[in-house]
Amino acid sequence: MAFVVSTLTDYAKENEALLVTSSVLGSKTATLIKSQGNVLVGVKSSEKIGIMDTDAFFQDDSDCGFNASGTTTFTQRSVTVGKIKVQEALCPKGLESKYLQKALSAGSMYDSIAFAADYTSKKASRISAQLETAIWTGDSASANGNLNKFDGFAKLVAAASASVIHANTTTYYGPVALAASAGITSGVVIAVLDAVYKAIPAQIVDKDDVAIFVGNDVFRTYTIALKNANLFAYTFDGQATGELTLPGTTIKVIAVQGLNGTSKIYAGRISNLFIGTDLLNEEEQFELLNDPYAMNIKFMASFKFGVQFAFADELVDFILT
């Protein structure tokens, strides 16, 4: 007689969206990018971001005639997604000798786990956290399996270094660039963030989606420095969620865990950042199914993910020398 798992399958189907909302698009950076509508769906391997630029030349209009001038240019940047899966086998029998036996159903044959909702929620949160890190520090050449599925913004920006604006220079930071050995301490962090702000291109600095991204560690150092500088006149709005407005500006400083421990800072328009994924495709699976032959419960998730930006010359980085 066949092993009936219809109840468990229905449960899994009802929670398929958890992978989408809590994991793939649930990380902080991904949520910000999604808010701009910059999610390319249906990407199986790679997709182009079409970029148009044009100039405008003012001419003397004191006489009749038509004199064409100016150029409109089309370029492209590729979003390449990594193909990622998460799989785990859970053996309920391993809980029989522990206090968790109370969560098991009666009998010796198990086709579900009582804490399935808690488990899948925790798993989704873990996927989200690891994706957040990969969004910034992912490197397809890394030996770290959680980072080598796609290239993150740090690597992509470094590859476009010739066009990116570097804030850790004498032009923006001061007479001497900040060395890695010095680090971003409370004594210099205010000057560092000011240098990043100064380096943001004039043509975008007044846009309402410009942000400065830092690690949680740098963000905490910054808030301490502001407090020690007695800048109490400024409202640290959203500090509990890792966001505040750079004093004297309208630009948000946003803490993201993907930059923790890197001492790297990036600034630009959020609308300049893109995500590529395949969420709407039937290959996307988030299932918790009984395997009657192996006598365990299997978690399976599968998705594609990658990031890219459009305009390198609208990005600012601060990298320790």
Q: Does residue 155 carry a pLDDT above 90? A: yes
Domain boundaries, the chain: 6-39+75-150+275-303, 153-274+311-318
- Mean of pLDDT values over 289-293: 69
CA distance 254 to 208: 14
For residue range 103-136, what is the model confidence (pLDDT) as tens digits? 555 444 555 566 667 777 788 888 888 999 999 9
Q: Does residue 192 carry a pLDDT above 90? A: yes
What confidence category does residue 8 fall into, taking pLDDT thresholds of 50, 70 and 90?
A: very low
For residue range 197-253, what is the model confidence (pLDDT) as tens digits? 999 999 999 999 999 999 999 999 998 898 888 766 556 655 667 899 998 899 999
- Mean of pLDDT values over 67-75: 76
Specify the pLDDT at position 72.
76
Strand-pairing partners, residue 285, are 302
